Amino acid sequence: MAWSRVRRRDARRSLGSEEDYRLRFVREVEEIGRDLAEISPIPKSRIDAISIELLGFARLRADLLDARVRDGRIVEAHGDLRPEHVCLLSEPVIIDCLEFDPELRLLDPADELSFLTVECELAGGPPFIEQVLFETYSELTSDWPPDPWCGSTSRSGLSSAPRSASGT
């Protein structure tokens, strides 16, 4: 427990202001959109539409993003959580976090769970995986992320393109 408090405090110090977090959110949406447009079989018009929706969310619901920062919900997390990074033992173990760039690990766990949900669904996981992941997370942490984090309004909507053979 003390370890998680230290990591949360360190994350808040590294994160900067609420505005810094929102700017980073926007930058990531733009970067993911550009990258996907180059490598994805998804039509560019679809990628652009999702990007526009997410950028609008960041602008119109800045209050939600700001509240997550204020409430200390931005933490040092895994940074690239996928099904193959979860070892289901009696107590699940998460492996292979992004160690080369701590900034990539500073994120909202709701984002991380949204990305994991998409990855599980792409791998053939059950359609109720999002509900199970978010309910379990919320029960364990007493953090109930606002509905916009679930489903398509997450940045994970941009990450649903098939991966290349290299896994990127």
pLDDT in tens, the chain (168 residues): 333 443 554 565 667 889 998 998 899 889 989 998 899 888 999 989 989 998 998 999 899 999 999 998 888 888 888 899 888 888 888 887 777 777 778 888 888 888 888 888 888 988 888 888 889 989 988 998 877 555 434 455 555 444 433 444
Helix-strand-coil split of the chain, %, nearest 5: 65, 5, 30
DSSP-derived 3-state class of residue 123: coil
pTM, to two decimals: 0.72
Helix-helix angle 44-60:62-70, to 10 degrees: 60
What are the backbone dihedrals phi and psi of residue 111, each rounded to the nearest 5 degrees, phi first?
Answer: -65, -50
Beta-carbon count within 10 A of 128 CB: 9
- 158 contacts 29 by C-beta, under 8 angstroms: yes
**Dihedral-angle region of residue 164 (phi above 0 means left; psi in -120 to 50 means alpha; beta otherwise):** beta
